Structure 1
Amino acid sequence: MENVRATSRPALLLMVSIILVALNLRPSMAAVGPLLSAIRGDIPLSFSLASLLTMLPVMAMGLAMFFGLSVSRWLGEQLTVVVSLLIIGLATVSRLFLDSAIELILSAMLAGVGIALIQALMPALIKSRFSDNVSVCMGLYVTSIMGGAAIAASFAPLVMTRMGSWRMGLAIWAILALVALLVWLGQRSAMPTLSAQAQRNGSFFANSRAWLLAIFFGLGTASYTCVLAWLAPYYVEKGWSEQNAGLLLGFLTAMEVLSGLLTPAIANRSRDRRLVLVVLLALIMTGFCGLILSPQHLSLLWPCLLGLGIGGLFPMSLIVSLDHLDNPQRAGALTAFVQGIGYLIAGLSPLIAGMIRDQLGSFEWAWWSLTGVMALMLLMVLRFNPQHYARHIH
């Protein structure tokens, strides 16, 4: 396929635009956890119901992935991102006016649809525009997603305290959508249109390797969504203030950002990603064990290990998927399938953890369950031998 080559300045502007867009893909979820006790003081929410604020947008992301590429073909890449940012911005700012649990949940689902349309499009766009540096650019993109989560988790309690309103702590992140929208519109002339012919390809539903990649991505993202939803409430229950628990989640997501930048660059040295994946899973398992066995001692170490592991695992799961196919649009279609199924799996983890908390009175059994899931993923990693990729997906 003919690669679209952009000159360095438009390419740089495009990458900056992608980073700003990516910053919008998690604040609508990440701001909820640190403010949960304040929200529950105002709106009646059980832990199971509160879990829907993370679960439903993630599930909406999963379902929307399946039509995300079709929407981008219909609207074009440029307009798809504009529409998605408008959806995310409106869903976020609507939280200023919410008075019930169902309205809060609907705003989360609406944001999830906007997020999914962007996430379905971006891997194919990056593989096409930055074909010589896919791992590094995917790292920057995914790191920016987690950076948005870090900013929201850290500063939402501060905004709530200063403004005297948890609604403002949730809604202020619409500003990020406005900034991203203006910059994205500013660089549109620099962005040539991709050929859509290769996007019209067969489904991956009958391919066992596509399902393995999707389950791997889903289980890895389950740890991310569960930590995003419940780490701050876990530490609030241990006696921490909302502000400190939010800052701890912010620290964890800052470690994710660091790992998201470094891990793909390190992994770029070899097409065999298995050793890197094993190290990342070991870090996550150690972090969960520390959260359970010694949450108050070395309380920065466990989120640090979790952040380094989760932050690297997220981009590496997508990079391994992209490795399977050379054609950017076909690889993009595969990652859309992987994310679609994966987010449906990952969306269940906050709900299951919330139910465990309601039934057993502690989040610790949820952390144990996720440790077992990471051990299962270690076995799955053994299947990712790059010499066999062509055999699994043609």
Structure 2
Amino acid sequence: MENVRATTRPAFLLMLSIILVALNLRPSMAAIGPLLSAIRLDIPLSFSLAALLTMLPVMAMGLAMFFGLAISQRLGEHRTVVLSLLIVAIATVSRLFLDSAAELIFSAVLAGIGIALIQALMPALIKSRFSDNVALCMGLYVTSIMAGAAIAASFAPVVMNRTGSWRVGLAIWATLAVIALLFWCAQRVGMSTPPAKPTTKENFFTNSRAWLLALFFGLGTASYTCVLAWLAPYYVEKGWSEQNAGLLLGFLTAMEVLSGLLTPAIANRSRERRWVLAVLLVLIIAGFFGLILSPQSLSLLWPCLLGLGIGGLFPMSLIVALDHLDEPRRAGGLTAFVQGIGYLIAGLSPLIAGVIRDQLGSFEWAWWSLTGVMALMLMMVVRFNPRHYARHIH
């Protein structure tokens, strides 16, 4: 019994640390949308330029994924997370002193690099430390990412209204990084690992299944990044206050959190994930239809459907990638590739939507485009038959 407790407590503390770290992976982006109208009063920003505040950190996340695992193997898991949290904290707190669009964009890119180093590391860490409950622990990790977005989207306008400064509304989230950093450093015992066997670096660029997984993850994440960037401005244009639009985005991300917890737990019962993916995509399509056709009536229903769909799709895309390989390091390499290419794809969606808004005067065409993308993903789901995984990834 003593041995069980000795092993359970570090595992619990490690998972709690992972949750606290994950809370820091979206506030730097999620706080911008609800405060965008206030930022644009102070700093000249077109919608296309404002899209760079979401696009560039996501693109930086994608590019950094390709060397994130190499950095973590050189520095070790513990020091990599410490470095990443420091980068995120510095990027976030620097927003107190911003005077130009270029400085704001630079802070977003810097935060994206810090975020990417953590996201490259975590799937392999979870698969190696929690091998019996990978889907459940991945669900907790990804849910915590979305919870950080929910907190920032909901309370950034409140902070701005209380302090009279949008800069404080953006910078206050550095406190989350400090809390996670202190807790991560305090339980270092949970990070002790046996020396890794030397492995040859696997090249997934020539594997068609790896590209299919990356495309699926990228298109799904495109809906997440686009909604994160433009849902609040969309409703501000419909006459809502920044605070109410931020709370609506916070409600959507709260639904993402709920789905991110429940969906992997349900899917954990079987390696057959296709029916779960199909249901999630249908929910997203229904949510976009509602945003387009009836945004003001049943205004809580459409973000609810979008949140439930997007919140489950994000972890499930990574879980399906992890399912393809049993060895944690190879699976981590595959998920790093999937996220790297996927984030490069997803990063384009806020910019495309911003250009559509500037050219056509409305976000509706962006929602229509994403609806078509979700329909395409429904056809891709058929390919994810678990009985054929070994044949596709050798």
TM-score for both structures, normalised by structure 1: 0.98
Is the contact made by 1:199 and 1:330 (CA closer than 8 Å) also made in structure 2? no
Partner of 1:66: 66
Question: What code does the residue aligned with 2:220 have?
Answer: G
For residues 349 and 256 of structure 2, what CA distance do their matches in structure 1 show?
19
Aligned-residue offset at 1:202 = 1.5
Partner of 2:339: 339
For residues 269 and 357 of structure 2, what CA distance do their matches in structure 1 show?
42
Partner of 1:267: 267
Is the contact made by 2:255 and 2:311 (CA closer than 8 Å) also made in structure 1? yes
For residues 289 and 243 of structure 1, what CA distance do their matches in structure 2 show?
24
Partner of 1:382: 382
Give the direction of change, closer, same or farther, for the CA distance of 1:198–1:239 in structure 2 (3 Å limit).
farther
Is the contact made by 1:43 and 1:99 (CA closer than 8 Å) also made in structure 2? yes
Is the contact made by 2:202 and 2:330 (CA closer than 8 Å) also made in structure 1? no
Partner of 1:159: 159
Partner of 1:179: 179
Partner of 2:21: 21
Partner of 1:204: 204
Partner of 2:322: 322
Equivalent residue of 1:9, what SS?
A: helix
Partner of 2:83: 83
Partner of 1:106: 106
Equivalent residue of 2:347, what SS?
A: helix
Equivalent residue of 2:239, what SS?
A: coil
1:6-27, Cα deviation, whole Å (9 max, x unpaired): 8000000000000000000000
Gaps of 5+ in 1: none
Equivalent residue of 2:272, what SS?
A: coil
Question: What code does the residue aligned with 1:225 have?
Answer: T
Is the contact made by 2:277 and 2:316 (CA closer than 8 Å) also made in structure 1? yes
1:5-64, Cα deviation, whole Å (9 max, x unpaired): 980000000000000000000000000000000000000000000000000000000000
Question: What code does the residue aligned with 1:150 have?
Answer: A
For residues 273 and 189 of structure 2, what CA distance do their matches in structure 1 show?
36
Aligned-residue offset at 1:193 = 2.1
Give the direction of change, closer, same or farther, for the CA distance of 1:176–1:92 in structure 2 (3 Å limit).
same
TM-score for both structures, normalised by structure 2: 0.98
Partner of 2:188: 188
Equivalent residue of 1:79, what SS?
A: helix
Aligned-residue offset at 1:270 = 1.1
Question: What code does the residue aligned with 1:54 have?
Answer: T
Aligned-residue offset at 1:379 = 0.5
Partner of 1:290: 290
1:46-104, Cα deviation, whole Å (9 max, x unpaired): 00000000000000000000000000011110000000000000000000000000000
Partner of 1:133: 133
Give the direction of change, closer, same or farther, for the CA distance of 1:205–1:195 in structure 2 (3 Å limit).
farther
Is the contact made by 1:280 and 1:312 (CA closer than 8 Å) also made in structure 2? yes
Give the direction of change, closer, same or farther, for the CA distance of 1:49–1:139 in structure 2 (3 Å limit).
same
For residues 378 and 49 of structure 2, what CA distance do their matches in structure 1 show?
32
Partner of 1:368: 368
Question: What code does the residue aligned with 1:319 have?
Answer: I
Give the direction of change, closer, same or farther, for the CA distance of 1:159–1:325 in structure 2 (3 Å limit).
same
For residues 175 and 90 of structure 1, what CA distance do their matches in structure 2 show?
11
Is the contact made by 2:28 and 2:111 (CA closer than 8 Å) also made in structure 1? yes
For residues 357 and 19 of structure 1, what CA distance do their matches in structure 2 show?
36
Is the contact made by 1:73 and 1:196 (CA closer than 8 Å) also made in structure 2? no
Equivalent residue of 1:7, what SS?
A: helix
Aligned-residue offset at 1:194 = 5.1
1:309-348, Cα deviation, whole Å (9 max, x unpaired): 0000000000000000000010000000000000000000
For residues 34 and 147 of structure 1, what CA distance do their matches in structure 2 show?
16
Is the contact made by 1:198 and 1:330 (CA closer than 8 Å) also made in structure 2? no
Question: What code does the residue aligned with 2:254 have?
Answer: A
Give the direction of change, closer, same or farther, for the CA distance of 1:268–1:198 in structure 2 (3 Å limit).
farther
Gaps of 5+ in 2: none
Give the direction of change, closer, same or farther, for the CA distance of 1:223–1:199 in structure 2 (3 Å limit).
farther
